[in-house]
């Protein structure tokens, strides 16, 4: 048999082993050993049916794993090579599945992509969440753009969240249209907006325009507007945005909504907005960002 | 399935007012219901009535499928979207996967489906092979029934057997004989849609006997009460098989309420409306009592599933008694 580690960079090996070490303490020794054996075989021979069987059967085979156990790995994003992985409050089984996917040996692009696409095609809800959470660790990163866009359309919240929140892939690889759909959909579905990676870096005028339209729609329907919306609109405040924002900051009973608009006015280069803040000095208190979702936004780099 | 002919009111027995208060605090498990055909109102009503878990067997969708992809997408929806939809109402959703008897008659397609099944039966939440068995009792139906029994045996999964509407008694005996011939433990086989005519043989042979409470065409629940009185609660399961026809997703809680009214002990009612289903299908290793006891976390993400059942920010429960929709 060839060296089963062939095709993995040294950094990747170190990272894989590190992830394995985080998983091992939560799995009974015998079950863990059996999984390691399976993964070794997978590294040597990644036949589609072998991968599918290992990947699908993880919860079936690891009976010792506490199904409710959620795991957060502070160091996971320090990975070198490809994109960092952010493991925040994942079911352990998801992490194990992503780790298994990291062990697929080097293949040529078509074979590699079709191997993983097959798992997507037959995936149940948790499998799909793991497959999308693994976008940053797949080989041939640019090959997953359409897949990522497709996943954002999912109606299954855990699947959608695995892409939208704490995932480095979308902001690095989606074009502007697809990125804007991700952000808009995240607002529509009340996702954890501040944890969308790349929110600041990928912010753009077209997105801001669509967000303002959405804010008008919500306002007309008397529904709540997520204050993070105004943070994204801030650099692009124009006459139309300003009209609604002014109304809300004067009338809203919700502190965060008013704070977000004050902050956006302050950050804006639109003259009436900055004038509004200087003319209403009693609103200065609203600029305190402590306990708001956008605390630290000016320093944020992605 | 559904008959629209007017029935003489008198032939439908005495009308009893719906009193689900009689079963307040009960937990129900409907081990046969086709939720893909049901609305969110049904999910809500089921959750309110105490249904905590369901099994959705793969079945015929009301007209024949014409290609393998629609089978795959259907199976995918049972392990994906439908499971998620149920979770939004705090209901645990399991399924059984199989090629139903009617569509076994399209042999070219049936062959392709057989190749597909192994990709689905090992998935999380798949608690059996089903619903399979006979409809017209053709040679093709028998062939694919046998092949799927072998598949279930190899996977160590329970089997959910649909028994035919026509020539039912013979079809039921034949389904059991074939299962035994393939070496299946009758304790791993749930024979569904029983009647007064089939129950004795099913129980005597050691199989689980499931009863479908379905208006007009299958069992009525007054008859169900009599059967439980006569045979006791051992190995008897009650389900609704609610689908796209005129059927009742509350059939299990309603039958339990009637059982309470009829003076059956609570333990008996719980056994046929919950416990036996857990016992039969937990043999899959995919479900257990602890799983059903844990409170389904309708977490933030699930609760505001946006472009799905519950739209962002909207109150999860609509007011059915108001003409205002907001």
Give the model confidence (pLDDT) of B141-171 as tens digits.
Answer: 999 999 999 999 999 999 999 999 999 999 9
Q: Which two tokens stand for residue B314?
A: 């909207």
Q: Do A122 and B119 touch (CB under 8 A)?
A: yes
Q: Structural domain boundaries of chain A?
A: 10-179, 205-299
Task: Average the pLDDT over B19-40 and give the result.
Answer: 96
Whether B312 contacts chain A with CB within 8 A:
yes
**pLDDT at site A111:** 96
Whether A191 contacts chain B with CB within 8 A:
yes
Q: Do A185 and B302 touch (CB under 8 A)?
A: no
Whether B125 contacts chain A with CB within 8 A:
yes
Kind and range of the H or E run holding A72: strand A70-73
Q: What percent of chain A has pLDDT over 90?
A: 79
Best residue in A63, A94, A155, A188 for a mutation probing chain B (most B CBs within 10 Å): A155
- Nearest by CB to A156, from B72, B84, B124: name it: B84
Using 50, 70 and 90 to split pLDDT, how confident is the model at B311?
A: very low
Which chain B residue shows the shortest CA-CA distance from A192? B301
B3 pLDDT exceeds 70?
no
Query: How many CB pairs lie under 8 A apart between chains A and B?
Result: 79
- Nearest by CB to B305, from A57, A128, A189: name it: A189
The interface predicted TM-score (ipTM) is 0.82
Segments in chain A forming alpha helices (H): 10-23, 29-44, 48-56, 58-61, 92-102, 109-121, 125-133, 145-152, 157-164, 169-173, 176-188, 205-220, 228-233, 239-251, 255-267, 271-279
SS3 A32: helix
Whether A295 contacts chain B with CB within 8 A:
no
d(CA A76, CA A88): 9
Closest CA to A180 of A151, A210, A156: A210
- Nearest by CB to A124, from B72, B80, B302: name it: B80
**pLDDT at site B133:** 97
A6 pLDDT exceeds 90?
no
Whether B74 contacts chain A with CB within 8 A:
no
**pLDDT at site B309:** 46
Give the model confidence (pLDDT) of B249-305 as tens digits.
Answer: 999 999 999 999 999 999 999 999 999 999 999 999 999 998 888 765 454 344 333
Give the CB-side neighbour count of residue A259, counting CA atoms within 13 A: 17
B47 pLDDT exceeds 80?
yes
- Give the pTM: 0.88
A3 pLDDT exceeds 80?
no
- Nearest by CB to B80, from A156, A185, A224: name it: A156
SS3 letters for B281-325? Answer: HHHHCCCCHHHHHCCCCCCHHHHCCCCCCCCCCCCCCCCCCCCCC
Q: Residue written as tokens 């804006």?
A: A268
Give the model confidence (pLDDT) of A97-124 as tens digits.
Answer: 999 999 999 999 999 999 999 999 999 9
B227 pLDDT exceeds 90?
yes
Q: What percent of chain B has pLDDT over 90?
A: 80
Order of strands, edge to edge, in the sheet holding B126-133?
B28-30, B51-57, B92-97, B126-133, B159-162, B189-191, B208-212, B236-239
Which chain A positions have a beta carbon within 8 Å of B311's beta carbon? 188
Q: Do A185 and B285 touch (CB under 8 A)?
A: no
Whether A184 contacts chain B with CB within 8 A:
no
Burial class (CB in 10 A: 0-12, 13-18, 19+), A280: middle
Which chain B positions have a beta carbon within 8 Å of A131's beta carbon? none
Mean of all residue pLDDT scores within chain B: 90
Q: Residue written as tokens 């309470």?
A: B260
Q: What percent of chain A has pLDDT over 70?
A: 96
d(CA B200, CA B310): 46
Mean of all residue pLDDT scores within chain A: 92
**pLDDT at site B308:** 40
Whether B79 contacts chain A with CB within 8 A:
yes
Give the model confidence (pLDDT) of B163-217 as tens digits.
Answer: 999 999 999 999 999 999 999 999 999 999 999 999 999 999 999 999 999 988 8
**pLDDT at site A302:** 79
Q: A263 near A298, Cβ under 8 Å?
A: no
Which chain A positions have a beta carbon within 8 Å of B122's beta carbon? 53, 56-57, 60
Whether A57 contacts chain B with CB within 8 A:
yes
B319 pLDDT exceeds 90?
no
Beta strand pairing call for B28-30 and A87-91:
unpaired
DSSP state string for A188-211 = HTT--GGGSTTTTTT--HHHHHHH
Task: Average the pLDDT over A223-241 and give the result.
Answer: 96
Q: Would you put residue B200 in left (φ > 0), alpha (ψ -120 to 50) or beta?
A: alpha
Could you tell me the domains of chain B?
Answer: 19-303 (3.20.20.140)
Closest CA to A199 of A80, A296, A90: A296
Which chain B positions have a beta carbon within 8 Å of A158's beta carbon? 84, 301-302
Whether A100 contacts chain B with CB within 8 A:
no
What sign has the CA pseudo-torsion B82, A96, A174, A158?
positive
Q: Do A60 and B304 touch (CB under 8 A)?
A: no
Task: Average the pLDDT over B69-82 and give the result.
Answer: 96
Is the peptide bond prior to B131 cis by the omega test (within 30 degrees of 0)? yes
- Of residues A290 and A113, the one with the higher pLDDT is A113
């Amino acid at each position: 048999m060839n060296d089963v580690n062939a095709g993995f960079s040294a950094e990747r090996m170190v990272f894989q082993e590190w992830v394995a070490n985080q998983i091992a303490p939560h799995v009974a020794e015998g079950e863990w050993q059996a999984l390691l054996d399976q993964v070794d075989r997978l590294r040597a021979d990644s036949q589609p049916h072998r991968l599918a069987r290992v990947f699908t059967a993880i919860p079936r085979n690891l009976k010792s794993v506490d199904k409710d156990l959620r795991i957060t790995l502070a160091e996971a994003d320090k990975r070198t090579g490809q994109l960092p992985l952010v493991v925040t409050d994942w079911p352990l089984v998801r992490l194990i599945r992503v780790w298994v996917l990291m062990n697929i040996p080097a293949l040529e692009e078509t074979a590699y992509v079709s191997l993983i696409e097959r798992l997507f095609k037959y995936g149940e809800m948790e499998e799909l969440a793991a497959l999308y959470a693994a976008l940053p660790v797949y080989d041939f990163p640019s090959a997953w753009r359409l897949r990522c866009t497709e996943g954002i359309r999912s109606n299954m919240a855990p699947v959608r969240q695995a892409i939208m929140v704490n995932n480095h892939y979308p902001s690095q690889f989606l074009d502007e249209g697809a990125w804007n759909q991700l952000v808009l959909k995240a607002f529509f579905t009340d996702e954890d907006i501040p944890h969308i990676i790349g929110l600041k870096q990928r912010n753009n005028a077209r997105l801001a325009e669509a967000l303002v339209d959405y804010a008008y729609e919500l306002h007309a329907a008397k529904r709540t507007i997520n204050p993070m919306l105004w943070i994204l609109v801030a650099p692009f405040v124009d006459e139309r945005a300003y009209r609604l924002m002014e109304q809300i900051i004067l009338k809203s009973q919700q502190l965060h909504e008013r704070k977000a608009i004050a902050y956006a006015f302050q950050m804006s280069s639109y003259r009436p907005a900055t004038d509004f803040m200087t003319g209403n000095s009693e609103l200065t208190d609203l600029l305190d960002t402590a306990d708001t979702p956008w605390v630290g936004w000016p320093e944020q780099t992605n | 399935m559904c008959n629209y002919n007017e029935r003489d009111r008198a032939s439908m027995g005495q009308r009893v007012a719906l009193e689900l208060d009689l079963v307040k605090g009960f937990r129900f498990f409907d081990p046969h219901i086709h939720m893909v055909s049901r609305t969110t109102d049904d999910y809500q009503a089921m959750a309110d009535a105490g249904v905590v878990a369901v099994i959705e067997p793969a079945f015929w969708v009301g007209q024949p499928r014409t290609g393998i992809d629609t089978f795959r997408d259907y199976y995918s929806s049972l392990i994906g979207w439908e499971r998620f939809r149920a979770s939004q109402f705090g209901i645990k959703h399991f399924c059984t996967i199989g090629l139903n008897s009617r569509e076994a008659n399209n042999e070219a397609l049936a062959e392709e489906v057989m190749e597909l099944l192994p990709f689905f039966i090992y998935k999380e939440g798949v608690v059996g092979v089903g619903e399979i068995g006979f409809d017209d009792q053709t040679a093709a139906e028998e062939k694919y029934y046998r092949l799927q029994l072998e598949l279930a045996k190899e996977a160590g999964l329970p089997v959910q057997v649909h028994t035919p509407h026509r020539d039912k008694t013979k079809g039921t005996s034949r389904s059991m004989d074939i299962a035994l011939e393939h070496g299946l433990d009758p304790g791993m086989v749930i024979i569904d849609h029983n009647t007064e005519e089939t129950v004795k043989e099913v129980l005597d042979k050691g199989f689980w006997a499931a009863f479908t409470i379905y208006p007009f065409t299958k069992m009525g629940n007054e008859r169900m009460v009599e059967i439980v009185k006569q045979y006791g609660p051992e190995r008897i399961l009650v389900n609704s098989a609610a689908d796209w026809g005129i059927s009742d997703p509350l059939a299990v809680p309603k039958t339990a309420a009637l059982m309470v009214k009829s003076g059956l002990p609570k333990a008996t009612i719980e056994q046929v409306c919950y416990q036996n289903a857990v016992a039969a299908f937990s043999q899959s290793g995919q479900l257990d009592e602890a799983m059903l006891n844990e409170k389904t976390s309708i977490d933030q993400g699930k609760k505001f599933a946006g472009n799905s059942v519950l739209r962002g920010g909207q109150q999860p429960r609509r007011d059915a008694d108001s003409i205002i929709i907001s």
